[in-house]
Amino acid sequence: KAGVTQTPRYLIKTRGQQVTLSCSPISGHRSVSWYQQTPGQGLQFLFEYFSETQRNKGNFPGRFSGRQFSNSRSEMNVSTLELGDSALYLCASSLSPGLASEQYFGPGTRLTVT
């Protein structure tokens, strides 16, 4: 069974631009969560989607948004990029909703904002 895939793997953007990251969960998984990982702040939870609905949300500004499609694929969008948005963005999928359920992480998208 294929794992969680994230595209693109690497991305360079400039301040003020917007970016969309994509995540394809493991087949059959309906829950997708997004995380931001930086050396300074560590791993931080962004949001969780299940059945196309946002279930949980972390403490990030409204510039960070996401959505989930009927096939469970998810996208994350960051508008008006800031230098501090440079990070590894990780997506995780699980069979059932809930952040404690066994989540399988993708390799991440490395975003660099210049």
Partner 1 sequence: GQQLNQSPQSMFIQEGEDVSMNCTSSSIFNTWLWYKQDPGEGPVLLIALYKAGELTSNGRLTAQFGITRKDSFLNISASIPSDVGIYFCAGLYGNKLVFGAGTILRVKS
Could you list the residues that contact partner 1 (CB under 8 A)? 4, 42-45, 55-56, 58-59, 90, 92, 99-100, 102-108
CA distance 67 to 47: 10
Cα atoms found within 13 Å of the Cα of residue 32, Cβ hemisphere only = 30
In this complex, which beta carbon is closest to partner 1, that of residue 79 or of residue 105?
A: 105
Number of CB atoms found within 10 A of residue 54's CB: 13
In this complex, which beta carbon is closest to partner 1, that of residue 16 or of residue 61?
A: 61
In this complex, which beta carbon is closest to partner 1, that of residue 56 or of residue 86?
A: 56
- Helix, strand, or coil (residue 60): coil
Q: How far is the CB of 29 from partner 1 (least distance, A)?
A: 14
In this complex, which beta carbon is closest to partner 1, that of residue 28 or of residue 100?
A: 100
Q: How far is the CB of 108 from partner 1 (least distance, A)?
A: 6
Q: How far is the CB of 37 from partner 1 (least distance, A)?
A: 9
Q: How far is the CB of 53 from partner 1 (least distance, A)?
A: 13
Sole residue written with tokens 């560590």: 42
Residues written for the chain: 114
- Per DSSP, what are the bridge partners of residue 68? 74
| Tokens coding 35 | 């995380």
